[in-house]
Structure 1
Amino acid sequence: MLRNREFRQFAILFSCITAAAVALGFAINTAAGILSGCSAAAFGMAFYAFTKERYKSIAQISDQIDLVLHNADRLYIAESHEGELSILQSEITKMTLRIREQNYALKKEKEHLADSMADIAHQLRTPLTSVNLILSLLENSRNENERKAMIRETKELFVQMDWLLTSLLKLSRLDAGIVVFQNDKIDVNTLISGALHKFLIPIELHNITLQIDMPKGIIIQGDLGWLSEAIQNILKNCLESAGDDGKIVIACEDNPLFTEIAIRDSGAGFAKEDLPRLFDRFYRGKHAGAAGYGIGLALCKTIITRHGATITAKNHSQGGAIFSIRFSK
């Protein structure tokens, strides 16, 4: 205890006060001096015993904290019968549990990052291998038409890789929480028209019928740019699924509880085993196209959920797949 500076200062102050009290008592009379000395001694012994017990309890807490820090299986600190120390132990236990939870979350994040890097490397390796093969064939080809076809295919592969890297960058920004969504009033017709704009030529080339059932004046809250990105990823999936001479239906329902945007295609729908994992990153379903990376729907769900909305996907009763985005009011 004497190693504690505050305790040493208190002991010196107590000794001075005791000496003064005893001297004053003896100055009055002998009995008063003896009584002062005995009272001071009794108080000093009681204080010493009480303080020693508290130091013992604190030392036990310190030992238990050391065990918690160096033993992964130990999480709790034994409760004390004393009020203040019991509160302190309870707070330390809460802090320990919080630190363990954060460490566990960090460990899972590291594992997820490692898995993501492996998936990214795998996803990029496939088109890069194809590009390398095409360049080898291009080097040895003398036919002008073949060379043009291979150059065109190479450009398409680079476009795919650019889309993949751009999508992964957007996902990483969303995961890091550095994206700040605007909270503007958005007309649903404006949202759908903007998202459809980049697909108008493919829709015409593949003779896809587009049916839009969208009442006027429906307003939702959110970020137009990011929500348009989410809708485009759904449309891209539906276009690939519908194929030539297919059909895409976009409808909107508005009621006092929510606003729902539904996008349906006339394709083959989803395999039963794919339904639980449709929005998982890098998951490619049974009917996924050769150019699919399993990123678009994952990015779409991240954007939608960050807006406080929900997205579901299922097989429609009349065939094909249907995506439903619901914005609560």
Structure 2
Amino acid sequence: MDGLKRKISASLQAQLSFWLSVAVIATSVGGGYFSFRGTFHEANEFQDDQLRQIAGLMQQQEPHTGLLITQSIEESEDPESQVIVQVLAPEARQIRLLDEDVQLPASLPEIVQTVPGNRYTWRVFIRHLPDSSRLVVSQRTDVRDEIAGSSAWRTVFPFILLVPLLLLLVNVLVRTMLKPVKALSHDLDQRRDSDLSPLDDRHVPMEIRPFTASINALLLRVKRSVDTQKRFVADAAHELRSPLTALSLQVDNIRKIALPPPATERMMELRGGLQRMRSLLEQLLVMARSQESVAHQVTTISMEDVFKQVLEDLIPSAEAKNLDIEVDTERSAIFSGQLFDALMLIKNLIDNAIRYTPAGGQLVLRARRAHDVLTVTVEDTGPGIPDEEMERIFDPFYRILGSGESGSGLGLAIAKAIVERNGASLELRNRVDANGARCGLCASVKFPPGPVRA
């Protein structure tokens, strides 16, 4: 019961359905009650009029004292519903009704009144005749009430039948009216993290538009803030490239001068630090560009050519660790989309695999197309990723502790941003050997059918 209360209080649709249903039921019960009482009263009034009309007809026949009519000429299906007509002497105070004697009250006005008997209660109309005798027309009240109740229930039946239909109709109408709001919620749930475009509220009810307008204003402010941060990172990285390049040139010039061995060793450390700094700035620039929503030219290229272009830059790093690189592609493995995104995505995945694969290891690059979906996988024989680290592996600047590898921690974050912008999917899973131990990592990218535009 508490769960139902929480659900009703938390849902606008449930509240509308509940209270409209309560209103329908309360209105139907009230309307049915008054309709039943009114019809019941009208039916009894109609039967009282019948008693008066029978008395008027019998008076026209000038009945004699002692007349008693207890059954109709024609056979009746319900003898209990018969009307009893009799003429009493002026001094008589007792009448015979079926199998019992009923005592009349002392005052005998010409009105329809209820007279109790030993077994039944009777509805009686008394009319005084010119010769001082009295014409009495009687009928059992239980039969009259049964007839009146039957008529009254016929007026209530439509309420009983229509209430479930009205409740169903209310529920359907509430769901239909709130469909635009649900569609708006579904649109927000299906959006990528980088999609901060305004909500389309053209089909949203007028009462909800102030809320959607506030959401759009919030999205606009967030978009401006995010764009400002992206521009700051890109501008800062771009501005730092020139002084770092100048420092690298100065270090190279100093290396040409004969220096003592300790100074030469320190100079090499300085040169390595500058090189790592330049790599970090390049990664930051790539990260900023991968998060842009500007559409670039769509190119159609085979994945074999993509692998070749990427390996031209990374093959020295692979040869330095004596890695065996295997490329396995199909002719049907054609990429259609933004070439820059494809190159940066594959490059970061392969560079990540080269960094974490031990010397003498192996890399396998595969590309397959099935059901118009291009799947690219990069497998290595490195240590893999601990299960507890999988949730944070795509965070910028996050690196697994104890890996012993240098890097900026931006490679997988860049790959994730490119994948999200292109509507693709990226999955990382550990490879295991026969004993269940980790023996490498497999990165799988699935590109959607057709050319992809940001």
> TM-score normalised by the shorter chain: which range applies?
0.5 to 0.7
Per-residue deviation, 1:261: 0.8
2:367 paired residue number: 252
1:320 aligns with 2:435: no
Q: 2:328 aligns with which of 196, 208, 213?
A: 213
Superposition RMSD in Å: 3.4
Per-residue deviation, 1:219: 0.9
Contact (CA 8 Å) 2:293, 2:421: kept in 1 or not? no
Per-residue deviation, 1:170: 2.9
1:148 aligns with 2:264: yes
Q: Relative to structure 1, is the Cα distance of residues 114 and 170 closer, same or farther in structure 2, using a 3 angstrom cutoff? A: closer
Aligned mates of 2:421, 2:402 — CA distance in 1? 28
Q: Which amino acid aligns with 2:440?
A: G
Q: Percent identity?
A: 22
Per-residue deviation, 1:306: 1.9
Helix, strand or coil for the counterpart of 1:146? helix
**TM-score using structure 1 length:** 0.59
1:169 paired residue number: 285
Q: Which string of whole-angstrom CA distances, capped at 9 and with x for unpartnered residues, describes residues 99-139 of structure 1?
A: 24532673597599779989x99xx9xxx9xx9xxx9xx9x
Per-residue deviation, 1:217: 4.5
1:185 aligns with 2:300: yes
Q: Which string of whole-angstrom CA distances, capped at 9 and with x for unpartnered residues, describes residues 54-89 of structure 1?
A: xxxxxxxxxxxxxxxxxxxxxxxxxxxxxxxxxxxx
Per-residue deviation, 1:185: 0.7
Helix, strand or coil for the counterpart of 1:193? helix
1:278 paired residue number: 393
Contact (CA 8 Å) 1:274, 1:286: kept in 2 or not? no
2:351 paired residue number: 236
Aligned mates of 1:270, 1:303 — CA distance in 2? 21
Contact (CA 8 Å) 1:271, 1:287: kept in 2 or not? no
1:200 aligns with 2:320: no
Q: Which amino acid aligns with 2:417?
A: T
Contact (CA 8 Å) 2:332, 2:368: kept in 1 or not? no
Per-residue deviation, 1:152: 2.2
1:291 paired residue number: 406
Q: Relative to structure 1, is the Cα distance of residues 156 and 257 closer, same or farther in structure 2, using a 3 angstrom cutoff? A: same
Helix, strand or coil for the counterpart of 2:374? strand
1:256-271 equivalences under 5 Å are: 256-271=371-386
Per-residue deviation, 1:264: 0.8
Per-residue deviation, 1:268: 0.5
1:158 aligns with 2:271: no
Q: Relative to structure 1, is the Cα distance of residues 174 and 209 closer, same or farther in structure 2, using a 3 angstrom cutoff? A: closer
Contact (CA 8 Å) 1:215, 1:252: kept in 2 or not? yes
Aligned mates of 1:111, 1:256 — CA distance in 2? 37
Tell which structure's C-alpha radius of gyration is larger.
2
Contact (CA 8 Å) 1:189, 1:214: kept in 2 or not? yes
Helix, strand or coil for the counterpart of 2:331? coil
Q: Relative to structure 1, is the Cα distance of residues 289 and 221 closer, same or farther in structure 2, using a 3 angstrom cutoff? A: farther
Q: Which amino acid aligns with 2:271?
A: K
Which structure features the higher share of strand residues?
2
1:301 aligns with 2:421: no
Q: 2:209 aligns with which of 86, 90, 94?
A: 94
Per-residue deviation, 1:156: 2.0
Q: Which amino acid aligns with 2:429?
A: K
Helix, strand or coil for the counterpart of 2:359? coil
Q: Which amino acid aligns with 2:340?
A: G
Q: Relative to structure 1, is the Cα distance of residues 281 and 112 closer, same or farther in structure 2, using a 3 angstrom cutoff? A: farther
Per-residue deviation, 1:215: 2.2
Q: Relative to structure 1, is the Cα distance of residues 102 and 243 closer, same or farther in structure 2, using a 3 angstrom cutoff? A: farther
Per-residue deviation, 1:287: 5.0
2:72 paired residue number: none
Contact (CA 8 Å) 1:240, 1:289: kept in 2 or not? no
Q: Which amino acid aligns with 1:171?
A: M
Per-residue deviation, 1:274: 1.3
Please list every run of 5 or more consecutive structure 1 residues that lacks an aligned counterpart in the other structure. 1-89
Aligned mates of 2:418, 2:226 — CA distance in 1? 23
Q: How many residues align?
A: 224
Aligned mates of 1:280, 1:218 — CA distance in 2? 30
Aligned mates of 1:230, 1:175 — CA distance in 2? 13
Greater shift in the superposed pair: 184-193 or 247-256: 247-256
Helix, strand or coil for the counterpart of 1:285? coil
1:71-150 equivalences under 5 Å are: 91=206, 93-100=208-215, 102-103=217-218, 106=221, 110=225, 144-150=260-266
Please list every run of 5 or more consecutive structure 2 residues that lacks an aligned counterpart in the other structure. 1-204, 434-438, 450-454
Aligned mates of 1:198, 1:325 — CA distance in 2? 21
Q: Which string of whole-angstrom CA distances, capped at 9 and with x for unpartnered residues, describes residues 2-41 of structure 1?
A: xxxxxxxxxxxxxxxxxxxxxxxxxxxxxxxxxxxxxxxx
**TM-score using structure 2 length:** 0.44
Aligned mates of 1:317, 1:269 — CA distance in 2? 9
Per-residue deviation, 1:197: 1.0
Contact (CA 8 Å) 1:315, 1:322: kept in 2 or not? yes
